[in-house]
Structure 1
């Protein structure tokens, strides 16, 4: 799962990245308004952590731009401004949650997890699709009660496919989901093919039906 942290306090941003990375989230940061706008134009995120007070602009303006673009990224406002009017403005503009500074990292992680469950998996901690069971909290995958061992990237891909079931996902979108800003550094997306191939092989060997389809010349689709 990919998180964008829009925060100008460098040490706080580093602390958030360190903690969320230990929870297996992939984190990117933006330290001011202009960096943040560049990233939201260029990429998609599972969750955006948005400070309201930023050098060069207002966090609420970023939130308004996300709404205008019809972006589906989840947004949690993190701000020292705890006035009720700021909270109300943010929620009215489309923010999903509001967390006032200072906060405990564990609470932030719990809110991110809850938001992603709510948006992608109907608030459920456990995803069940036929013979496949995924426990999001435990980060385990079972096929017919047998444990399936996946790498972190394979697990991320599986959740991404299921969260976008019946949609064709291009190799570029998958590369950006797995690598974020670094996706642009690759001349091709062969690493995406390798991860998808391994995921398909492991699912097949476990006895799971072939729901992960290759759409030739375009990408892949989780069809169910």
Structure 2
């Protein structure tokens, strides 16, 4: 899961990032409204943590922008404002939850899990593609009922491809999704190939088909061959 933390308080942003990374989230930080808007338009996020008081803008204006550019992203307002009117305004404008500072990091994590569960109901917990079945809650992947020993990156890579089947995904897009937006400043993302190679081998060794198609010079596609 990929999280955008829009927070101008450096220490708080760092603490949230460190905690969520230990829980296997990919975290990006925007310290002001301008940076936040750029990231929202360029990248995809599963959940956005939004501070309302930023040095160059109002978080509620950013919330409206999120609803236009990234309606699939869950939004949790993280604010020192504790008034009922502010909470109701944020929720009415489309936020999924509202947590008031100060808060504990475990509580924030619970709020994140709750809003993500609402976007992925119990009936959609199993992601299936032919002989492949992934339990999105337990993070287990099976091919023809055989449990695969996948790393976290390999499992996230497999989920990413299945959810984007028939779409051409560049190595840069894959790197950004799995390692973070900072990879856009890296000239060489060939390390993606090694993860793809390992995933392919584990799947075919388990009796699964190879659905990955290389689009030379561009990237990869997941297709039902």
TM over 0.5: yes
TM score, norm. by length of structure 1: 0.83
Q: Which residue of 1 aligns with 2:221?
A: 221
In 1: Cα distance, 2:101 partner to 2:147 partner: 40
- Judged with a 3 Å threshold, the aligned counterparts in structure 2 of structure 1 residues 144 and 24 are, in CA distance, closer, same or farther, namely same
Match of 1:220, SS state, is strand
| Unaligned runs of at least 5 residues, structure 1 | none
> Shift in Å at residue 216 of structure 1?
4.3
The number of residues matched between the two structures is 223
Q: Which residue of 1 aligns with 2:19?
A: 19
- Judged with a 3 Å threshold, the aligned counterparts in structure 2 of structure 1 residues 160 and 86 are, in CA distance, closer, same or farther, namely farther
- Judged with a 3 Å threshold, the aligned counterparts in structure 2 of structure 1 residues 108 and 221 are, in CA distance, closer, same or farther, namely farther
Match of 1:142, SS state, is strand
Q: Which residue of 1 aligns with 2:111?
A: 111
Q: Which residue of 1 aligns with 2:2?
A: 2
In 2: Cα distance, 1:110 partner to 1:89 partner: 23
1:147-176 deviations in whole A, cap 9, x for unaligned?
212222212212222333443323222121
In 2: Cα distance, 1:64 partner to 1:130 partner: 39
Match of 2:208, SS state, is coil
1:1-224 alignment runs, 5 A limit: 1-119=1-119, 121-123=120-122, 124-223=124-223
In 1: Cα distance, 2:167 partner to 2:115 partner: 21
Match of 1:141, SS state, is strand
Aligned-residue CA RMSD in angstroms? 2.6
TM score, norm. by length of structure 2: 0.83
Which deviates the most, 204-213 or 43-52?
204-213
Match of 1:37, SS state, is helix
1:23-48 deviations in whole A, cap 9, x for unaligned?
11111212222332232233222211
Contact residue 43 and residue 180 of structure 1 kept, 8 A: no
Displaced runs of 4 or more, over 6 A: none
| Unaligned runs of at least 5 residues, structure 2 | none
> Shift in Å at residue 117 of structure 1?
4.5
